[in-house]
Amino acid sequence: MSQKRIVVKFGGQSGQGINTIGKLFTKSLNKSGYKVFAYREYPSIIKGGVASYQIDISNSSIGSSSKYCDILVAYTPETLNEYLPLVKESGIVIYDNKDINLTEDQDAFLKNNNITPIYLDSVSIAKNSGGTEIMSNVVVLGFVWKILNLKPEILVEEILEHFKKKNVDLEAEKNSIMGGFNSPTYRPELTDKIEIPKISEIFKKKSLVISGNEALSLGAIASGIRAYYGYPMTPATSIFKFLGETSTETGILVKQAENEITAVQMALGSMYMGTRALVATSGGGFDLMIESITCAGITETPLVIVLSQRTGAATGVPTWTGAGDLNTALKGGHGDFPKCILSCSDVHSSYTLIQKAFNISEKYQLPVIVLTEKQLSESLYTVNSLPNDLPIERGLQDGALRYEITDNGISPRWIPSKEKTVYIHNSDEHNEEGTSVESSEEVLEMSDKRMRKMTTLLEGIPEPAMYGDRNASIIFVGWGTVKNTILDIMEDNKDIGYLHYEYIYPLKTDKFEELISTEKRVILVENNQTGQLGNLIKEQTGYDFKEKLLKYDGRPFFIEDILNFLNM
C-alpha cells in the first residue's frame, strides 16, 4: 500500500488554544485508525504572534511534516497571511474571523490555485448551540471533521473526555461540535477535494499518541532513574513536566534547581552515591554544564545529560528546531576525557537510547550526552507500542582500588555503603587510590587508562543503520529527526537509501567506509549550518562530502526539502 498523506493546519495566536485543538484533533484521528504526525510552530511569547499546529494524516506510519497543507484553518488575519502561501493546489481555507478580508493578491492566489475559501460563522453556531464564544474552536473542529467524512462520535468522545475535568458545560460543548459538523456551510464538493486515505483494517488498532520527550521520560523511568534535576529551558522542559506530573506514582524525586550548574552537580552527587539521576536541558544550559561534564570525565562518575536542541547560538530562535549542538556536545570541555554521544530520532529511539545511556554511563563510568531536537521533543507521533525495555546494566564490581589500572580501562566501582571500602572521586589527576598526583608517569598512566575506555566502548556499540533497498543509488547520511523525513520519502522512492547515525561518539566508520567505496551518490543531510556530523566523519575518515543538504532556518526537514533537492 503506498503512503498517502493529507495535511490539516490550524493557525492562530499563541495562547488561543491552538495546542489543545491540535492535540484533540490528533488523538481523534488516531482513534479513527489513522497514523498522524503533529508538528507545532510557535513564537517565544505567551500571547499573540503566529502559532500553528499541523497534522499530517496518513494510512501508514509517518514521522515528518509536509511543507504544504490541504486544509488551512486560520483563526486570525496574521495566520492567514503567513500560511496562505503554504496551501496546496485545490486546497481549502477555513476562517471564522470577521476581521479577515482577503486582499486582491490573496484572492488571485486562491483562484489561480483552485483553493476554496470558506467563512464559517463559528461563534454564532457555538452560541446557538448553547455554548460560549470559546466553543467556536470545537465548532471548527466539527466542521473539518465533516469535510474529512469521519465518524463524529469519536471526535465528540475525545473532546468531552478532555473537558470533563474542566468546569465546562459538556452538553453545550457537544452541541457545538455537532453544530459545526452539521453546519449548512458544508458542501459535499469540499469532501471531494480532499482525498482522505483509505485505511486497511489492520491499522485500525489503537496506537499511542506520544511526543519524543514523553517517550524519553518513560524510558528514563523504566530504566530506574530515581531523581530528576532540572532548570526550565525549551524544548527540554516538558521532560521536567512529565516526570513532575507522574512523580506521585513513580516516587521519583523531582527538583527544579536554581540553575543548570546546580542541576548537573546534584546529579553528579547522586550518581556517585549510586542512584540514577537524570538531567535535561537545551543548548545554553548545556554549555553551563560543560565544566561539570569534564569533572564527570576525569573522576569517572556516571552522568547522563539530555540535550534537546533548538536553533542558534545564545538565545537564537528559542522555540524552533535544529540539530546544531553536536559540536558543543562533542568538543565542549577542557582537557581530553572519554565521553559518549547518542542521538534520538523518533519515539522508539527516545525510549530506548535513554536506557542505553544509563547503562553505558554506569558500565564505562563516563558522561553520556543524549541528543534530541525540538522537532522530536514536542511533536506528536503515533506508534503501535513502545519497544521492549533494555535490561539494567550497572557494571558494579567490588575492588580494593577505585581507579585500578586495567587493560580495558574500566576500574571497579561499587556503591558507597557502610560495609564497603571508602574511596574518593578526585577531579585532580590521581593515582589508583584516588590520591592527587602530578608526576609525569602517574599522569600518563591514569590518562591512558581512562582513554582506553573509548576503545572498549567503541567495540560495544553498533555501526550506523542502513535503511532502504540494497540497490538504491542515492544515499543520504545523517542523524536525528531528518531520518523520519527521508524514511517517509523512501516509502515511494526505492532509489533512495539512508545511513543513520544513532551512536555518534565514539564514531563507527566501517559501514560508512564501505558506502563510500561504492559508486553511489552520497549526500550529507543535517539540520545545522556547517554539517557537524560531516565534519566529524571527515576528521576520522578523511572523506569530504561532495554534496550537502543543510537546513538551519529553525524549521525541520519537510518532505519537499528532500524532494526539491533531488529535483523530484
Partner 1 sequence: MSVNITDYNSKNIPTWCPGCGNFAVHTALKKALSDLNISPSEAFMSFDIGCNGNGADKINIYGFKGLHGRSIPLAIGAHLANRKFTVIADIGDGGCFHEGLDHLIHAIRSNYNITILIHNNENFALTTGQATVTTKKNKPMYGLPFGRIERDLNISEFILNLKPTFFAKAYSQDPLQLSEILKKSINHNGCSVIEIMQLCPTYNKEFTHEWATENIKKIDSIEGYNSNSLESAREILKDTTKIYTGIVYEETETKSFYDSLENRKNMKTELVDEVKKYDIKKLLEKF
Interface with partner 1 (CB under 8 A): 208-210, 214, 218, 221-224, 226-227, 229, 246-253, 255, 257-259, 261-262, 265-277, 291-292, 295, 299, 301, 386, 389, 391-392, 394, 415-428, 430, 434-436
Q: Which lies closer to partner 1 via its Cβ, residue 9 or residue 402?
A: 402
Residue ranges of alpha helices (H) inside 223-346 are 237-245, 247-250, 260-273, 283-299, 326-331
Specify the residue for cell string 563507527.
Answer: 508
| Nearest distance, CB of residue 473 and partner 1, angstroms | 40
Report the residue number, 99 or 258, with the smaller CB distance to partner 1.
258
Of 380 and 490, nearer to partner 1 (C-beta) is: 380
CB atoms within 10 A of CB 348: 18
- Whichever of 226 and 511 has its CB closer to partner 1, that residue is 226
- In terms of phi and psi (left: phi > 0; alpha: psi -120 to 50; beta: otherwise), the region of 244 is alpha
In the complex, least distance from residue 485 CB atom to partner 1, rounded to whole angstroms: 24
Q: Least distance (Å) from partner 1 to the CB of residue 299?
A: 7
Q: Could you tell me the smallest distance in angstroms from the CB atom of residue 221 to partner 1?
A: 5
Secondary structure of residue 563 in the 3-state scheme: helix
CB of 205 to partner 1, least distance (A): 14
Q: Looking at beta carbons only, is 272 or 286 nearer to partner 1?
A: 272
> What's the rounded Cα separation, in Å, for the pair 201 and 27?
18
Q: What letter represents residue 453's amino acid?
A: K
Specify the amino acid at residue 358.
F
How do strand 496-501 and strand 465-467 relate by DSSP bridges?
antiparallel
Q: Which is nearer to partner 1, 290 or 482 (CB)?
A: 290
CA 501, CA 269: separation in Å to the nearest integer? 31
What minimum distance in Å lies between the beta carbon of 414 and partner 1?
Answer: 11
Minimum distance of partner 1 from residue 224's CB (angstroms) = 4
The 3-state DSSP class for residue 382 equals strand
Q: Shortest gap between Cβ of 459 and partner 1 (angstroms)? A: 26
User: What is the 8-class DSSP label of residue 70?
Assistant: E
Q: Between residues 44 and 447, which has the closer beta carbon with respect to partner 1?
A: 447
Choose between 254 and 499: whose C-beta lies nearer to partner 1: 254
Considering the complex, what minimum distance in angstroms separates the CB of residue 206 from partner 1?
10
Q: In terms of CB distance, is 65 or 355 closer to partner 1?
A: 355
Chain-centroid distance, C-alpha 504 = 17
**Which phi and psi (to 5°) does residue 124 adopt?**
-65, -40
Cα four-point dihedral sign 468, 204, 163, 16: positive
Q: Estimate to the nearest angstrom the gap between the alpha carbon of 23 and the chain centroid.
A: 16
The whole-angstrom separation of Cα 462 and Cα 93 is 47
The H or E element that residue 447 is part of is helix 440-460
